[in-house]
Amino acid sequence: MGPGQSEPAWFSTLEKWMKVMWILMSNKRFSVASVLALGVLLLALAACSRSSEPTPQSAPPPAEPTSSGMPATTAATHPPTLDANLLTAEGVTFQCDASQAETLNCQVAQPPHRVEAQINASIFGRWSMRLPPEMPALTGREVLAITLRIEGTLRPNLYLVEADGRRILQRLPGLSPAEGGTSAGTVYVPLNEVRDEEFRPLNSATLQELQLVFEWADMEGVLEIEDIRFLSAWREVVTPPTQTAPIAAPDGFVVEPIAAEASAITQFQVVAADTLLVSQQNGRIWWYRDLNGDGFYEERQLYASGFEETVGLLYDPLEGAVWVGGRGNLWRTMDTDDDGVADQFDLRIEGLPWGRHQNNGLIWNPVPDPFTGEPPYTWIYFGLGSTGDLETGGDLNATILRLHRDRRGQDALEVVARGVRNAYGLLWAPVPHEGSILWSLFAGENGPDFNSAPDEVNHIRWGLHYGFPEQFGMVDPPEQEGQPYSSPVLEVTPHASANSLAYITNPEWPEAYRTLYVSLFGSVFSAEPVKPAVERIRLTPVNAPDGVTFRGEASLFLDNLSRPLPLATDLDGNLLVGDYGTGIIYRVRYAGTP
């Protein structure tokens, strides 16, 4: 029998008659032929019985009520609306059923609903909540919030059931009590993240029922359901992290956490003194807010989710839009009603070729665009990585691209430079040069995973080729610079995963530290470990055959980080570092020599 299935009646009947046949064959007064004839007749009867009985399912559709109770309503106190507890809403009905009624005991008269279950791997038990027709139609931007308390070893699965009967399984995150222990909390499920086994999204407008199902495993205990609601906005308090080991920095520098709980952080941006915009790899984008001005962002609100993967994030200060990139797509999103939640999604670029790498970090042009002179916030620059370790892919892969803010489609993309294997982070930096400012475009580049070629930090100039997949590291001899390949600013330790960049101009920092910084994620595929870190790069201008550029000298700046990835600067010009491994964002400021 499969998970969640009970033994059908026809099988039990057939098993009994097989035993009778065995007894008859053992008795010499009955011939073998007569027993076999009787057997054929029994098989035919069993087949008829089987055809008239539904086949049990591991994820069963709504079943007939059992002794656990007929469909019931809780004493209603309000109409069914968003942001209200549906356990006490008018017209909402509840039911418990099980393949073996005695394994489930439910109380749904009033919150909290209490479900006592003792399930083995061959049966199921279920608590269900059916939404009334009066429930406002859902858009997919809502977040399902379920507040639970679990005792024992229960591990329910959540099913979302549409009006046509499609049931989508959603594993419940968090809430993992120790053996025989208790766990309590709220589980959040953004509706636009829900996908079926074929990755088709939930049709939220036709959502009709929620089910918590105990199945596929031996489990027992008590489940209490205290609150269920669809949130129009998901806000939550962010707890300051407990620092286990100090982040090592040069004397005089202070490293302090300013945000947390952003596991697998990919990008972030300072929007205002009290507001950060943060993306996670799982496709969630958050507003982080410092409500009391103490420097720690203690509240966050979900802005958007449901993207397959988010590695590009860019706020538009002119229109308030948020651009989101990843997996070959580039979206322009908007919050048109100022509730902090995206309600407009415009797919500007679709179907860029991606594989091992994809389209990454996004930046605006500075004042004015150093290549073509347009005003700030006209062009969006980003890298599109190669599709393979040593294979470029399509014509747009392993390039630096740009898109005009008012255009759409791959035909609107302009190729800035080629031969850049995987530029995760880009940065326009105001580098002093001969008494003036030379706005320079830099890119961190991940080198190949399965050879000893270096990672790189490149100074991107229009129309140049930076070598991939033929040339790695410095061009030798130097006289061949630009014919056809150009050298990097810096060769980085192979497999260090050179990613994001920041440039410090803060006058409160010592002059030697007002320069370029790069995050090193650390080795992933290398047999030899390369430690994660943030490095400082001292830049020296050089006149190369292909134009004015820079050469860099690296030194360790921050150590003891888990997986540093995105870098930025705050409004005071201090360095900000996002740690992919811990989900913490740090501020680095200079406090003077101790």
pLDDT, one tens digit per residue, over 84-134 is: 999 999 999 999 999 999 999 999 999 999 999 999 999 999 999 999 999
The confidence score (pLDDT) of residue 179 equals 64
- Band the pLDDT of 33: cuts 50, 70, 90: very low
How far apart are the two ends of the chain, measured CA to CA in Å? Answer: 70
Which pLDDT value is given to residue 375? 98
Query: Among all chains, which residue has been given the structure tokens 């639970």?
Result: 148
Q: How many CB atoms lie within 10 A of CB 337?
A: 9
pLDDT at 180: 63
Q: Reduced to 3 states, what is the DSSP secondary structure of residue 18?
A: helix
What pLDDT score does 74 carry? 63
Q: Is the pLDDT of residue 290 over 70?
A: yes
Stretch 296-313: mean pLDDT: 98
Give kind and range of the element (H or E) at residue 236: strand 235-237
Rounded alpha-carbon distances, angstroms, from residue 352 to 160, 360, 559:
32, 12, 36
Average pLDDT over residues 402-415: 98
- pLDDT tens, position by position, 510-568: 999 999 999 999 998 777 889 999 999 999 999 999 889 999 999 999 999 999 999 99
Average pLDDT of the residues of the chain: 89
Q: What percent of the chain is modeled with pLDDT above 70?
A: 86
- Which residue has 């229960």 as its token pair? 154
pLDDT at residue 2 in the model: 35
Using alpha carbons, select from 314, 343, 346 the residue that is nearest to residue 329.
346
Query: Whats the size of the chain, residue-wise?
Result: 594
pLDDT of residue 70: 53
What is the per-residue pLDDT across 229-282, written as a single tens digit (0 to 9) for each?
999 999 999 999 987 789 999 999 999 999 999 999 999 999 999 999 999 999
Output the pLDDT for position 177.
Answer: 65
Domain 236-590 homologous superfamily, CATH? TolB, C-terminal domain (2.120.10.30)
Average pLDDT over residues 132-155: 95
Task: Identify the pLDDT of residue 73.
Answer: 64
Instruction: Fold for 86-232, please state it.
Output: Jelly Rolls (2.60.120)
pLDDT at 472 over 50: yes
Q: pLDDT tens across 573-593, in order?
A: 999 999 999 999 999 999 987
Give residue 400's Cα distance to chain centre. Answer: 25
Q: 370 in the Ramachandran plot: left (φ > 0), alpha (ψ -120 to 50) or beta?
A: alpha
Give the pLDDT confidence score for residue 97 in this predicted structure: 96
How much is the pLDDT for 292? 97
The pLDDT value given to residue 273: 96
Kindly give, in sequence order, each residue whose CB lies less than 8 Å from that of residue 254, ignoring residues fewer than 6 positions away: 588, 589, 590, 591
